[in-house]
Each structure stands twice: as C-alpha cells, then as structure tokens.
Structure 1
Amino acid sequence: MFKQVKSAVFWYYLFKFRKRITLVVLLLIIALFANVIYSDVVEYLKLKDKLQYLEIALISKWIVIIFNLVFSIYLLLTMFKKEEIQEEKKIKKEKIVEPVKKEKEEKFTQREKEFLYKKKIRSKADLLVEK
C-alpha cells in the first residue's frame, strides 16, 4: 500500500514538473560530460606539447560544472515557489473580476427598480381575492 502511494506521489510530481526536471537532468549530464571532454582536451594538449593551455582547459571545465550545478540547485529550490506565486496572481485576478460582475448585475431597468424597492408586491391572484 505504501509503495503505491509513494509511486503515485512520485509520478504526480514528475508529470507536474517535467520541464524543470528534464532541464535539471540535462544540466547534470552536461556537467558529467565536461569531465570527459576535459580529459580528451588534456590528452590532445599533451600530444601537441601545448601545456600552457591546460590551465584554461581546467578553468573552463570547472566553470561549466559549477554553473550547471548552481543553476540546477536554483531550479530545484524554486520549483514550488513558482506555483505559489501563480496561485496568488490567480486570487488577485479573481478579486478584480468579482467587483466588475457586481456592477453589471446592478443595472436594472426603471420598472425593475420600482418592484425592487416596493414594500408590498401583490400578484393578480391577490387582487382578485380582495375584490
């Protein structure tokens, strides 16, 4: 039973945040490939005896890795905040829309206003009973 609930929650959030999750996974894959690319660049520079460029390769590798990790963490931390902000905006929009509807409903014709403020409304049946 617990496994089913856990699975349902997992798939719910995976489906709900699929764009962000795929972006985070892609960024982490890029960070992992940065190490592979760096090792290839180091081997190439060693073969060509251009060791002065090793420092640039190392710095660029770590810049790519750190940027991807920081951006992934930011996306994960703001995943739930975005939803709360959108809900607040919807609530504000609903509050703005409601007064407009009330103004439209208050537009009555003159005859409707007479009946609206009349203290005693009598139907035709009431008039016939009195006669």
Structure 2
Amino acid sequence: ILKIEYDDQAKKESFNYCRQYYADNKATVKAIDELENDYQYHSPIWWYTKESAVYRLLSSAVQTHDANMIIKMGFFMQDLHREIKRIYYETERTTKVTLYRGHGMLADEFEKFRKREGEVFAFNWFLST
C-alpha cells in the first residue's frame, strides 16, 4: 500500500467507493463527505485520532479483512505513515515517547471479559493501533 501512487482522482474514487459501500448509513456518508471536504485542513493523525469516518472505515476494514477497503483507503494510510515518520525523525532519538489508543466497549462485552479472567484473548482492532 505504501508503494501505490494515489493522485487526487484516486482519492475522489476512494471517497465515492466508501459512500457506495455505506450508502444505507446516512451518518457515515455524511462523515465521509466531511472527510473529503475538510481533509486538507487537518493532519492525518488528527483525522485518525478524532474517531472520524477514516478511523471507522479503516478499523472496520482491518477487523473484517476487507482488502478492497484497505486499498481504497491506502492514500490515507500513506499520509498517516508519512506524518508519523516525519515526527519520528524530528523527535530527538533519545526521547522516549509513549502512545496510547483507546477502544470503546459495551458494558455487556466488558462483563464477558471480566468473567473469563485468566484466559487468552485476541483482538483484531489492536492491529489498527
């Protein structure tokens, strides 16, 4: 994905693909519109950490192994990678940075985990961090 060349037309096609994919969910389509219209005004890290449409799209794609959506959103993954890399190189190498990513969970889901103490769990959404 980092080697694919995405131009403005490819980005437009990506947003259109996402709108078609989520056509039955008006709130998500509206969020995709916001993302397309305002994308250049904020950094990729800002978009990803604000629980925006791009976060939901990528998180869902990773969890469901939706290769088409991952490729369509590749332009964002490239931008995010580029920004993280830039920040990394600008940061003094001796500086230790700790990063966190939260994930919401319904109360009944949490209760299931609590009851299964001591067992091993695997989370697909961890990969999106």
User: Could you tell me the TM-score, scaled by structure 1's length?
Assistant: 0.21
Larger helix proportion, structure 1 or 2? 1
Which of the two has higher C-alpha Rg? 1
